[in-house]
């Protein structure tokens, strides 16, 4: 796994302006994987300058040609799936099978979708005596997280490039190696110099420089709500557009009469996958009082089957969390849940046996959780499930909507119409009905403090377009 010791700017790997570096470590055993440059304002300045210079040419490139570059990029990513999965497993710690099935495969599907959209989208339409044009918003600054490192990059880069924008990417400091791999793929796909630029660095330094830069027209950020607030404020000061995909505390509502075994099994799987490091995870399970005890028993049994271990071992279903800070955060919430009076029915804050090194957290399930507890209100970002009891469907709705977040959710019912009626009343951007599958063409994003704007599909493309009307 060879890391580049420079930044990808204006179509070439160039030395960083400063000498600072970031150590990339393996969360499974804390060994050093590589070092990458810690970029600063000078690197961001060079990258934005290259993106601005490349903008007129790329914006004027016919959509069919942009589509062809995205198709080439998609094929290159597909061809490097094994390398992508191994890289993400090494720097994030996700089990290799999950990296292959999700981390490597989903970005390929998303890229393919945008290659098709770039070719098919109507960038012009007639409305009465007007011709309405959809033009690229300009230079995009993208700041991406570590939890789905390649997917989050592709979910911003693919629509930005399809729209005719140029961009500067600042990836998460924990997972920069797959971002470098993506830059290699962009280069190989024949995307013109300056259209895509990569600056590795720390959020408070390189990220802040990008958010503040006067040459950025739209800032797209995925991460915590706390950081999103700061990013939004910096962007607002420059009157630049902003897209924010932030935190979540999603509710998995199991209505009376639903298939309880399936709903609980899928719900536990949803929370435990990627070591719970998923912003849209259904971390609150809501069950009616009559079947509550049965649901708690089923959840505890399901969680016990999630073997914690080294991500390269075939039996492993839950790898480590990404770093020591994250480990302390998650175990701190588990301890707080116990202190607040929730009943621990699986897992706990102690290290799993046989894992003295590495950032491992035991898959944890809490029962007797009440809506005001911290573990029911705050995003933990680890393999921790809170099970809450409701008295009737109106009570369930109050609990489901009773947080500052609104990113995702799930509803289970024996009657699909009943589930849809309930889902319509949920204050959230995405709801899975009876285990509905992820759709890479459907819009993804949040209500309330879960964000601003949408990613994926047509709605994701339109975030990177601005509107001009010509009257005749």
Q: Which residues are catalytic?
A: 245
Structure tokens given for 12? 């070439």
User: What is the C-alpha separation between 48 and 276, in angstroms, rounded?
Assistant: 35
User: What is the C-alpha separation between 93 and 107, in angstroms, rounded?
Assistant: 18
Closest CA to 440 of 419, 464, 459, 418: 459
User: What is the C-alpha separation between 51 and 216, in angstroms, rounded?
Assistant: 9
Which distant-in-sequence residues (6+ apart) come within 8 Å of 41 by Cβ? 205, 206, 209
User: What is the C-alpha separation between 229 and 449, in angstroms, rounded?
Assistant: 9
Burial 180-203 (b: 16+ CB within 10 A, else e): bbbbbbbbebebeebbbbbbbbbb
Q: What pairing do the DSSP bridges indicate for beta strands 384-390 and 409-412?
A: unpaired
Torsion 174-178-179-181 (CA) sign: positive
- Provide the 8-state DSSP code for 465: E
- In the three-class reduction of DSSP (H, G, I as helix; E, B as strand; rest coil), residue 445 is classed as coil
Tell me how many degrees the CA angle 355-360-363 measures, rounded to the nearest 5.
115
């Amino acid at each position: 796994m060879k890391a580049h010791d420079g930044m990808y700017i204006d179509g070439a790997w160039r030395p960083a302006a400063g000498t600072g570096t970031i150590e990339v470590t393996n969360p499974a055993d804390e060994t050093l994987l590589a070092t990458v440059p810690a970029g600063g304002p000078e690197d961001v300045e060079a990258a934005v300058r290259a993106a601005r210079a490349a903008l007129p040419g790329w914006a004027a490139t016919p959509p069919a040609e942009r589509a062809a570059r995205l198709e080439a990029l998609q094929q290159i990513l597909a061809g490097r799936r094994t390398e992508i999965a191994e890289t993400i497993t090494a720097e994030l710690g996700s089990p290799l099978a999950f990296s292959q099935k999700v981390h490597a495969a989903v970005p390929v599907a998303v890229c393919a979708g945008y290659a098709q959209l770039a070719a098919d989208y109507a960038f012009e339409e007639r409305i009465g005596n007007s011709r309405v044009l959809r033009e690229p918003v300009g230079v995009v600054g993208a700041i991406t997280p570590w939890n789905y490192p390649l997917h989050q990059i592709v979910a911003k880069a693919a629509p930005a490039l399809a729209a005719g924008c140029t961009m500067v990417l600042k990836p998460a400091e924990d997972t920069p190696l797959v971002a470098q791999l993506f830059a290699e793929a962009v280069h190989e796909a024949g995307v013109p110099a300056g259209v895509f630029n990569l600056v590795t660095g720390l959020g408070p330094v390189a990220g802040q420089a990008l958010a503040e830069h006067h040459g950025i027209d739209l800032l797209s950020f995925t991460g915590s709500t706390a950081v999103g607030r700061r990013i939004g404020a910096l962007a607002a000061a420059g009157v630049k557009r902003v897209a924010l995909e932030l935190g979540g505390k999603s509710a998995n509502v199991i209505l009376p009469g639903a298939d309880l075994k399936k709903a609980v099994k899928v719900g536990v799987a949803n929370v435990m996958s990627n070591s719970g490091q998923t912003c849209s995870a259904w971390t609150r399970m809501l069950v009616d009082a009559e079947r509550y005890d049965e649901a708690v028993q089923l959840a505890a049994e399901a969680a016990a089957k999630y073997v914690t271990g080294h991500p390269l071992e075939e039996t492993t279903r839950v790898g480590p969390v990404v770093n020591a800070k994250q480990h302390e955060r998650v175990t701190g919430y588990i301890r707080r849940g116990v202190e607040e009076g929730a009943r621990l029915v699986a897992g706990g804050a102690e290290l799993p046996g046989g894992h003295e090194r590495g950032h491992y957290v035991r898959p944890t399930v809490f029962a007797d959780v009440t809506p005001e507890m911290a573990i029911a209100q705050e995003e933990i970002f680890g393999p921790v499930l809170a099970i809450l009891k409701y008295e009737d469907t109106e009570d369930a709705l109050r609990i489901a909507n009773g947080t500052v977040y609104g990113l995702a959710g799930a509803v289970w019912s024996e009657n699909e119409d009943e589930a849809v009626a309930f889902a319509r009343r949920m204050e959230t951007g995405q709801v899975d009905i009876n285990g509905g599958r992820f759709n890479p063409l459907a819009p993804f994003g949040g209500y309330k403090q879960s964000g601003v704007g949408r990613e994926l599909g047509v709605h994701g493309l339109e975030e990177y377009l601005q509107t001009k009307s010509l009257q005749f």
